Structure 1
Amino acid sequence: MSGRVVVVGGGVIGLSVAYHLAEAGVGTVLLERGTLGSGASRATADVLRAYFAGDPVSSALAVRSLDAYRDFATRPGARLPMRQVGYLVLFTDADQVAAFEADLPAQRAVGVDVELIDARRARRLNPLIGGDLPLLAAAWSPQAYVSDTAAIVDGYAQGARMAGVRIRTGCPALAVHDGRVETPGGTITADAVVCAAGAWSAPLARSAGVDLPLPEPVTQELLVTDPLEALPELPITLDAASRLLVRLRGDRLLIGMGYPDNDRAAWRAGVAAQLAVTYPSLSGVRLHTAVTGARDASPDRTAFIGHRPGPPAFLYAAGFSGHGLCNAPAAGELVRDLYLGREPWLDTATLAVTREGVG
């Protein structure tokens, strides 16, 4: 079997890459080891936001991606729910405020709408914040939405198929050698291979001679509360110190706080304890697992996007560290442009594996 480009990975990143390549007239085959969206794309909070503190590169990807999501009904042609709720980051330490202020010019330069607000306004935006929490200030960005990851995956998959992408699920890529992708069903040859395999990216890239400095995959777990009465409208809210993230999900709260270690019971107890500190009215509420999934996290939490020129070429889009949903449309555009030799809209040296501090 042969094709111009083989994309490995059927999550939101790989599907975006395949869609953008096929839309540009490139013959594309996509391989997915399981079902579409069954990796990191299965364990998201369904959040689309623009502001990534201390990471203006990820913010630039997210701002461009938000524009694409707003146009999703046109390209790729699927209705996409987007409920604007805003994003609030709570600062309880003066160093957090100073870091925000130092980062602010770079964030605004890439199009992020974000400002520093006082504790009183933050509590108006999220009235669940405890009165005893030593809240100094908060970052507020209205550019944040609750969406539907499954709808994004399905929309890109339908758009990709209509553009001519051949999608093969249940077909893991075992290795890549000189444009040949080894699968359990045989070898697929291509002019280029794109590695967008999420948590399985590092060994696959290594077989192609590219070192993606990704640590061992981590398991993301999101929790959900029992139904709660009379919940107010809330922004997506992150406590900067503990990394406790909450958002409304119907009559419940969806909750994340970093990555569980081997002692999941202890991690869940820690989440419950922090929830009671930040939001005392929720003390004692029962928590349940909402979703889990394997996630690829880069050392500096910024994605790797780049290429080794061919023929055959090898391209990669991995290490999104939970930002993949927010970055997917822009990532697909960058991989397409790298393959076609176009001038990309962003300097991809800031995303390459050779960038400073990650080798």
Structure 2
Amino acid sequence: MTTHAQVVVVGGGVIGLSIAYHLAEAGVGTMLLERDALGSGASRATADVVRAYFAGNPVSSAMAVRSLSAYRDFSIRPGLDLPLRRVGYLVLFTEQHQIAAFEADLPAQRAAGVDVELIDADQARRLNPLISGDLPLLAAAWSAEAYVSDTAAIVDGYAEAARRAGARLLTGVPVTAIDADAGRVETAGGAITADAVVCAAGAWSAPLARSAGVDLPLTEPIVQELLTTDPLPPMPDIPITLHAASGLLVRMRGDGLLIGMGYPGPDRGAWRRRVAAQLAVVYPSLTGSGLYTAVTGVRDASPDRTAFIGHLPGPPAFLYAAGFSGHGLCNAPAAGELVRDLYLGKDPGFDTTMLTARPDRVG
């Protein structure tokens, strides 16, 4: 294994791969280290959804707007095709305070470039006819710019683009510590020195960043699980739909539904029963449908559900991109661009101070 690189990126999920691609494309000698296989952490447990609207979080929304533009242009840059099926994103409001929160948040969302509007219950049911007629639906948020993609294709696309640009991607290389002052990355196979180190290790980022002198107050690694149903009768595609009160999220996947609702916790059986009960309330036609594990993966989260992106200037420099809180797929292109620009000392066209691990976010 090479013992020196200009920049070492730690983490081979969609965030780390986007960073490696954007650095290598800019002519930076880049080595990426992944403890397992590429895309084997949080990138393995996504709903394959890319969207721009994140309620109450205009910073993530702004990054997602920028990222969505990059995904649309993926066939041009880096020059690889991605599946993108436009279905829209629908958020169901059953309580008056949810509507008030949406209206208070709307100016910031519009300023972030998000196309979202409030629609009435009848319009929401026309968009998603599976919604129960008995659900006390008051209104809904509707964002047409939401797509179903393929996370594995995005991971593979960034990996291929990074290799084409000259990056070295090494798997099966767990990183045990980062000495930012020395520009030194410790691995099970020996040490690697670098002019800069980027920590993008997802759920494993906090202890690595701490060893480099940065406190990222991430949650303990959380296991995410998404479910799928029995095959359903033929029906038109429906929007990605979130029931705001319960967090129940559904979208079409093949001839069934893909379903998420929070995190399972230690009692997966009880969690699955809660999902089935909520599914019957919002979508009664699905009552009794079998629920089966679709994907699982380990995810990290930040206290305010906004990513940490920042750097300690060098040389050697230390940069970090973690805590995406389930938004990683939607934020990955922008994250790669921001880390590249921070390393190069360029204006990223984005106020990165909103993303740094500053005291008011660390707690």
Normalising by structure 2, report the TM-score. Answer: 0.98
Residue matched to 1:44:
46
- Answer whether contact 1:39 1:295 (CA < 8 A) is retained: yes
Which one of 343, 346, 349 corresponds to residue 342 of structure 1?
Answer: 346
Question: Post-superposition, which runs of at least 4 consecutive aligned residues in structure 1 deviate over 6 A?
Answer: none
Residue matched to 1:316:
320
Number of aligned residues: 359
- Answer whether contact 2:308 2:323 (CA < 8 A) is retained: yes
* Structure 1, unpaired ranges of 5+: none
Which one of 156, 181, 192 corresponds to residue 158 of structure 2?
Answer: 156
- Answer whether contact 1:3 1:29 (CA < 8 A) is retained: yes
Which one of 144, 148, 155 corresponds to residue 142 of structure 1?
Answer: 144
Residue matched to 2:133:
131
CA displacement 1:274-307 (0-9 Å, x = unmatched)? 0000001111111000000000111111000001
Amino acid at match of 2:200: A
Does the alignment pair 1:274 with 2:259?
no
Post-superposition offset of 1:75:
1.4
- Answer whether contact 1:10 1:32 (CA < 8 A) is retained: yes
Distance 1:305 1:74 in 2: 26
Does the alignment pair 1:75 with 2:77?
yes
Residue matched to 2:13:
11
Change (3 A) 1:335 1:70: same
- SS for the counterpart of 1:356 is helix
Amino acid at match of 1:180: R
Amino acid at match of 2:136: P
Distance 1:312 1:64 in 2: 29
Which one of 95, 109, 117 corresponds to residue 115 of structure 1?
Answer: 117
Does the alignment pair 1:249 with 2:253?
yes
Aligned alpha-carbon RMSD (Å):
0.8
* Structure 2, unpaired ranges of 5+: none
- SS for the counterpart of 2:306 is coil
- SS for the counterpart of 2:242 is strand
Does the alignment pair 1:207 with 2:211?
yes
- Answer whether contact 1:17 1:331 (CA < 8 A) is retained: yes
Distance 2:90 2:187 in 1: 45
Which one of 185, 189, 195 corresponds to residue 191 of structure 1?
Answer: 195
- Answer whether contact 1:88 1:141 (CA < 8 A) is retained: yes
Percent of residue pairs identical: 78
> Aligned ranges for residues 230-241 of structure 1 at < 5 Å?
230-241=234-245
Distance 1:225 1:330 in 2: 33
CA displacement 1:98-152 (0-9 Å, x = unmatched)? 0000000110111100000000000000000001111000000001000011110
Distance 1:349 1:355 in 2: 12
Post-superposition offset of 1:355:
5.7
- Answer whether contact 1:300 1:358 (CA < 8 A) is retained: no
Distance 1:230 1:151 in 2: 26
> Aligned ranges for residues 67-106 of structure 1 at < 5 Å?
67-106=69-108
Distance 1:212 1:135 in 2: 39
